[in-house]
Amino acid sequence: MKKRVSTLLAAAAFGLAASAQTWIWYPGDYEIWLGNRMNNNRTERGAFFPPFWKTDSHFVTVEFSKDLDLSEAEEIVIKAEGKYNVKLDGKLQFGQPSTFLIPAGKHKLNIKVWNQSTPPAIYVKGKTVNSDPTWKVTNEDKEWIDESGKASDTSATVYALAGYWDFDDMNNPPSAYSLNLEPKNYVAVEQKTADGGRLYDFGKETFGRIVLKQPVGDGVVNIYYGESPEEALDLEHCETLDKILFDGDKVTDLATNAVRKNEGDYTLDNTKAFRYVYVAPEAGVNFGDAAMLYEYAPVEYRGKFKCSDPELNKIWDVGAYTMHLTTREFFIDGIKRDRWVWSGDAVQSYLMNYYLFFDSPTVKRTTRLLRGKDPVTAHINTIMDYTLYWFNGIYDYYLYTGDKEFVKEIYPKMQSLMDYVLGRTNKDGMLEGMTGDWVFVDWADFPMSKQGALSFEQVLFCKSLETMKLCADIVGDSADAVKYGRLAKELRDKLLPTFWDEERQALVHNVENGKKSEQVNKFANMFAINYGYFNEPTTKSVMENVMLNPEVPAITTPYMRFYELESLCDQGLQKQVLKEMKDYWGGMLREGATSFWEKYNPSDSGTQHLAMYGRPFGKSLCHAWGASPIYLIGKYYLGVKPLEPGYKEFSITPDLGGLKWMEGTVPTPNGEITLYVNDKEIKVKATEGKGYINIKSKSQPKSDYGTVEKTGDKSYRLYIDTDKEITIKYKEIG
């Protein structure tokens, strides 16, 4: 685990090549298993709280195979998670051999593994024969024989390429995976005399296990967690708690009934999110002190940002920390609640990730887990919009990474999910919520119908169909490409005729019982802008009549502000968005936030900020979707984005948005783009790919590399194809 960071980079960089040998499994199965372990760690006031959607499980029997052609005999070492057999050229070998000699020549090697509890996985190491992602796997080998013993030649087994991550060490099998742990101390403690308890402050939002030091006596130690001091001290309403019973030489975790020997300092099994912890021993028991084991994913902050505005720097730093806390085995929503993987949250984490960690394995893991197994019996997380975001996340992933192998792996799962979606359209080919579908959109503070066909859902659906078309082309399925291309075009052609309100110059909210709604809100309109679904005059009109119209209801979740502010940036309103970031995210900081929240309504005050879902501390104060400035700053201020998949071609369009200067780094699959910008000078260095730097300048900029072209009024462009630092002198139009 120690070398995880560099390995992640290597995996991101070289895609399928990975290492010479690594643990392999059925693709997607490890994620499903690990996801169950993670999703099922949520507790609510000491009660186990698993997700309410279908929990899948791995294939319990998997066959791994490889065709070999050896110039000389070779001994291999075999390790497996599960009961296994080894077959060479169709002949089963005795027992479960841990070493095996393969003679020279052409051979077929098969290893079949059964494991109910954890995903069947193998590790093979030889001189040339090594388990790697080129091995084929199947859960259904259909190798029947006839009466003479001849194997069937019509079994039509469907093979996939093996799944893998970075388990390159034979003695570190996939099921033993854990995040990193680091001891940390509190920054303040307060004795609460009323009941003998102590309130610990760990200084900022954090995640891990509490350590009770030097326990003495017998009795229950109650532990109440809070993202705020109010929560930790509200014994009846805090969202999470633990109860540890010390009883002679034995310690019982009363939430899990797990019993351990009392060996002095006691570290809880259960991880929790908190900044404050109120530890209240009952009569007869006490403890010396408390501490914590911080649990985190060893990701590297490859994206960087600093500017002339200290508040924006703070916003970026807290956003990055929020992203780090919620980037774990998978991208989760919030670390206190729900600690689950949600597709709508994840698709934003992916985008932020491309500007922070560029950790592709976590994007792939999350995408696989969200999709789960066939049959599809409900929308992802039960939410219609979340199914659609899932497709769009693959579009983004391909654009940022250029990883065709992953598209090929996941495409069959895209097909079966889209079949499910297409089975739920109305006579116009549009998606309406059917029984069992959660039509979510947003936690909006205004009444919003979820009935009929919502324009918002159709815009997402259209993008999903376009993604299917794109991916069908990548995998070379031309029939699918034609089908999805046609469906996407048909739907897109219907969007304006169905939802456009000429008077209001906006897409209305929905069509219900054949009647077009009167309501205009930002949701569908901003996605249509971001996806480029309006022509230029319409875009301008929608900006004015919807996005910048104070009479259109405000968005109060960072979740949808993500897309709202993106659409403003997309239209060049960086100055205004900078102000909004400082108001909104700065507002949370002024309320004492050390990580960004699930929801923030500036008109709330005091403990109103903590409440949600009818519970006084129901709100999550560390929510990934709160970190959107990471994305906005990278893409629309530093202005870096891929034009061709995997940054083969990129564009850099710096926009100070009113800042005096800024500098930063945007990671690319195998390198980075570094930028310094003030009102006179731009310095840029791209270690891979090539592309354009777009400059708005009052006069012709000068560069120490290449020729700066004029592309319009005060618009210039410089083509870069060097990995050296380039300096451009210009005059900001400001």
Give, as ranges, the residues between 424 and 483 that touch a second copy (CB under 8 A).
433, 435-438, 443
In the DSSP assignment, the letter for residue 527 is H
Distance CA 582, CA 315 (A): 8
Whichever of 111 and 682 has its CB closer to a second copy, that residue is: 111
By CB under 8 A, residue 154 contacts a second copy: yes
| 649-652 vs 690-696, strand pairing mode | parallel
By CB under 8 A, residue 501 contacts a second copy: no
Whichever of 225 and 730 has its CB closer to a second copy, that residue is: 225
Whichever of 143 and 732 has its CB closer to a second copy, that residue is: 143
Whichever of 111 and 656 has its CB closer to a second copy, that residue is: 111
By CB under 8 A, residue 118 contacts a second copy: yes
Distance CA 322, CA 126 (A): 43
By CB under 8 A, residue 378 contacts a second copy: yes
Q: Which of 86, 277, 632, 640 binds a second copy (CB under 8 A)?
A: 86
By CB under 8 A, residue 156 contacts a second copy: yes
Which helix (H) or strand (E) is 13 found in, with range? helix 4-14
- Residue whose C-alpha is closest to residue 312's, from 566, 652, 633, 592: 633
Q: Which of 19, 36, 313, 519 binds a second copy (CB under 8 A)?
A: 36
Distance CA 448, CA 429 (A): 22
Measured from the CB of residue 415, what is the shortest distance to a second copy in angstroms? 13
By CB under 8 A, residue 30 contacts a second copy: no
Beta bridge partners of 357: none
By CB under 8 A, residue 650 contacts a second copy: no
Pair of tokens at residue 88: 């060479």
Pair of tokens at residue 361: 């394995």
Measured from the CB of residue 568, what is the shortest distance to a second copy in angstroms? 25
Q: Which bin fits 403, alpha (ψ -120 to 50), beta or left (φ > 0)?
A: beta
By CB under 8 A, residue 45 contacts a second copy: yes
Beta bridge partners of 201: 188, 276
Measured from the CB of residue 701, what is the shortest distance to a second copy in angstroms? 50
Residues contacting 78, CB < 8 A, separation 6+: 84, 86, 97, 98, 99, 100, 111, 122, 123, 124
> How many other β-carbons are positioned within 10 Å of the β-carbon of residue 429?
15
Per CB under 8 A, the segment of 139-147, 205-213, 576-584, 690-698 that binds a second copy is 139-147
Site for a second copy in 572-631 (CB under 8 A): 612-615, 618
What are φ and ψ of residue 228, in 5° steps? -130, 160
Measured from the CB of residue 368, what is the shortest distance to a second copy in angstroms? 17
Q: Which of 74, 141, 218, 591 binds a second copy (CB under 8 A)?
A: 141
Whichever of 2 and 91 has its CB closer to a second copy, that residue is: 91
Could you please report the per-residue DSSP string of 32-66?
HHHHHHHHTT-EETTEE---SSPP----SEEEEEE
Whichever of 96 and 549 has its CB closer to a second copy, that residue is: 96
Number of H helices and E strands in the chain, helices first, is 15, 41
By CB under 8 A, residue 14 contacts a second copy: no
Per CB under 8 A, the segment of 13-21, 141-149, 686-694, 726-734 that binds a second copy is 141-149
By CB under 8 A, residue 224 contacts a second copy: no
**Beta strand ranges found along 89-218 (DSSP E):** 91-92, 99-102, 105-114, 121-125, 136-138, 160-161, 163-164, 180-184, 188-192, 197-213, 216-217
For residue 68, CA distances in Å to 103, 130, 131, 335 come to: 10, 11, 12, 46
Measured from the CB of residue 726, what is the shortest distance to a second copy in angstroms? 49
By CB under 8 A, residue 423 contacts a second copy: no
Measured from the CB of residue 278, what is the shortest distance to a second copy in angstroms? 17
Per CB under 8 A, the segment of 148-156, 320-328, 621-629, 726-734 that binds a second copy is 148-156
Q: Which of 17, 101, 145, 188 binds a second copy (CB under 8 A)?
A: 145
Site for a second copy in 228-247 (CB under 8 A): 243
By CB under 8 A, residue 180 contacts a second copy: no
**Beta strand ranges found along 238-302 (DSSP E):** 240-247, 250-253, 258-261, 266-267, 272-281, 285-286, 289-296
Whichever of 421 and 547 has its CB closer to a second copy, that residue is: 421
Site for a second copy in 249-278 (CB under 8 A): 254-257
Residue bearing tokens 């940036």: 569
Measured from the CB of residue 95, what is the shortest distance to a second copy in angstroms? 5
Whichever of 56 and 230 has its CB closer to a second copy, that residue is: 56
By CB under 8 A, residue 538 contacts a second copy: no
Per CB under 8 A, the segment of 272-280, 373-381, 524-532, 623-631 that binds a second copy is 373-381
Distance CA 166, CA 56 (A): 23
Site for a second copy in 303-342 (CB under 8 A): none
Pair of tokens at residue 613: 């879902």
Per CB under 8 A, the segment of 108-116, 165-173, 473-481, 711-719 that binds a second copy is 108-116
Measured from the CB of residue 132, what is the shortest distance to a second copy in angstroms? 24
Measured from the CB of residue 194, what is the shortest distance to a second copy in angstroms? 23
By CB under 8 A, residue 143 contacts a second copy: yes
Peptide bond into 166 cis (omega under 30): no
Q: Which of 99, 377, 426, 722 binds a second copy (CB under 8 A)?
A: 377
Measured from the CB of residue 30, what is the shortest distance to a second copy in angstroms? 13
Distance CA 179, CA 2 (A): 10
Pair of tokens at residue 561: 């502000």
- Residue whose C-alpha is closest to residue 379's, from 475, 461, 456, 485: 461
- Residue whose C-alpha is closest to residue 630's, from 273, 392, 358: 358
Q: Which of 3, 142, 540, 698 binds a second copy (CB under 8 A)?
A: 142
Measured from the CB of residue 440, what is the shortest distance to a second copy in angstroms? 9
By CB under 8 A, residue 90 contacts a second copy: no
Which helix (H) or strand (E) is 661 found in, with range? strand 661-668
In the DSSP assignment, the letter for residue 597 is -
By CB under 8 A, residue 108 contacts a second copy: no
By CB under 8 A, residue 286 contacts a second copy: no
Number of residues that bind a second copy (CB under 8 A): 74
Q: Which of 267, 270, 286, 382 binds a second copy (CB under 8 A)?
A: 382
Pair of tokens at residue 571: 């239209």
| 649-652 vs 640-642, strand pairing mode | antiparallel
Q: Which of 5, 10, 19, 57 binds a second copy (CB under 8 A)?
A: 57
By CB under 8 A, residue 19 contacts a second copy: no
